[in-house]
Amino acid sequence: MRTVASDATTDGRWQVEVLASWADAESLQHEWDALARAAAEPHPFLLHGWFSCWYAGFAAENAIRILLLRQGDGRLRAIFPGILEKRKLGGLSMDCLAYAANGHSLYGGIIARAGDHEAIGKVLQAAAEQVRPTPHLLILPGLTEGSDTAAVIRNGVRGLGQRREHVDEGFVVDVSSGWDAYFSGCSANTRQRIKRMRKQAARRGTVDFPELAATEQGAELTERLRRLDRLSWQGQHGTGLFSTAENERCYRELLHSRHADLDVRGFLLTIDGRDAAYTLTLSWQGVRYLLKTGYDPECADCSPGSLTIWQIIHRSGQDGIPLLDLGPGGNEEKRRWATRSLSMANWWSLNRKTWRGWLLEAMLKLHDRLRARKQSKNEQGAG
């Protein structure tokens, strides 16, 4: 189902198209990916192929809403890949339009050319006004502080109240100078720790680190990941590659992807030929992104997950892949490895044209004021 609406602007006319199924977006790959490559912060989680996998896994067909913003001449200016959700917030039942991302997508962001803040603001307005049912809340996760989408939201969009709901930290490893330079720049404690982990693994048997490309060894890689995933903590707690039907649909599509842009690889740790850990990666334009890591708990004493990631850093330095993106979620291991970090946040845009959106914004502001007042009193008492 497609719906089209037009709206006059100072530059002529815009056309907003709302797609309600992925099938309607299948033919857009060329212009979609051209727009993604021209973004201020291009990454594979903006690509048509990634959303093909994501929607296949996590979207009910009747929940898909993809907004296309076009210039009057038909030129594509912005894309908001969305999904309808129901949430209960502050005792209110809210119709939400969420950006199509979750914990399996490292980053989000409205897809538009670098610096095209006008188009980003316009597509956010259109999302609040032209999607049906009318959303009370737009949810935009995984926005880095330097992204165009975050800049537009911070500066304000007509009719929308903005709130930074959750802040996180992402970590990047720079091996552009090669593995030796990177490793020598690590702390003495970190270098000793990796040597201890390798010795501990070697006590168990012969250690190897096979690398499997999904394009050539998709079936073998899928089966080996499935066996390890069942044993891993993630698999046991519903966050693994195949631990839910939704996860399985997404990662099966990714591992058997027909999208040439998605370089998907599995890096494994084997001990005496037995798989002990895996890290699934996605590489694009000189950056390798870590999607998922898991390991067999029986091998926990040698930190198999960490060993696998160390091997990926080593191999990336040797292979001329300059950057390794460890993704969000600051833990001590990532901090040890990273050469830099980035701030990222989830943003809410509250639709002031609906009474529920207006009321939720008022309730949240009141909550923030009361919390700030309480914190101030506590600080005064402590002083």
- Dist CA 13 CA 6 (whole Å): 7
Confidence category of residue 234, pLDDT binned at 50, 70, 90: confident
Task: Provide the pLDDT for residue 13.
Answer: 77
User: What average pLDDT does this structure show over 299-310?
Assistant: 92
pLDDT band at 378; cut points 50, 70, 90: confident
What's the confidence (pLDDT) of residue 230?
Answer: 93
Q: Which amino acid is at 176?
A: S
Judged against a pLDDT cut of 60, whether residue 286 lies above it is answered with yes
Q: What letter does residue 117 receive in the DSSP assignment?
A: H
**DSSP string covering 123-173:** HHHHHHHHSSSPPSEEEEEEEETTSHHHHHHHH-BTTEEEEEEEEEEEEEE
User: Average pLDDT of 172-191?
Assistant: 91
| Kind and range of the H or E run holding 86 | strand 76-89
pLDDT beyond 50 at 7: no
Considering Cα of 190, then 194, then 200, then 203, what sign does the dihedral take?
Answer: negative
pLDDT-above-90 percentage for the chain:
79
Predicted confidence band of residue 12 (pLDDT cuts 50, 70, 90): low
Q: Per-residue pLDDT for 59 more than 80?
A: yes
* Rounded Cα gap, residues 279 and 288, in angstroms: 12
Q: Give the integer Cα–Cα distance in Å for 170 and 108.
A: 13
- 358, pLDDT greater than 50: yes
Average pLDDT in the 274-298 region? 95
Average pLDDT over residues 326-341: 86
- pLDDT-based confidence at 379, cuts 50/70/90? confident
The neighbour count for residue 30, using CB atoms within 10 Å, is 9
| Residue range 90-146, pLDDT digits in tens | 899 999 999 999 989 999 999 999 999 999 999 999 999 999 999 999 999 999 998
Residue 264: pLDDT over 80: yes
pLDDT, tens only, 189-225: 988 988 999 999 999 999 999 999 998 999 999 999 9
| Residue 50 neighbours by CB distance under 10 Å | 26
User: Does CATH number 3.40.630.30 belong to domain 2-168+344-382?
Assistant: yes
Could you tell me if 363 and 350 are in contact, meaning their C-beta atoms sit under 8 angstroms apart? no
- Token readout for 367 is 């909550």
* 302-313 average pLDDT score: 93
Query: String of b and e for 244-276 (b: at least 16 CB within 10 Å)?
Result: eeebbbbbbbbbebebebbbbbbbbbbbeeebb
User: Is 2-168+344-382's fold the same as 176-321's?
Assistant: yes
The conformational region for residue 349 under phi > 0 = left, psi -120 to 50 = alpha, else beta, is beta
Q: Where are the domains of the chain?
A: 2-168+344-382, 176-321
352 touches 358 (CB < 8 A): yes
Q: What percent of the chain has pLDDT over 70?
A: 96
176-321 is a CATH 3.40.630.30 domain? yes
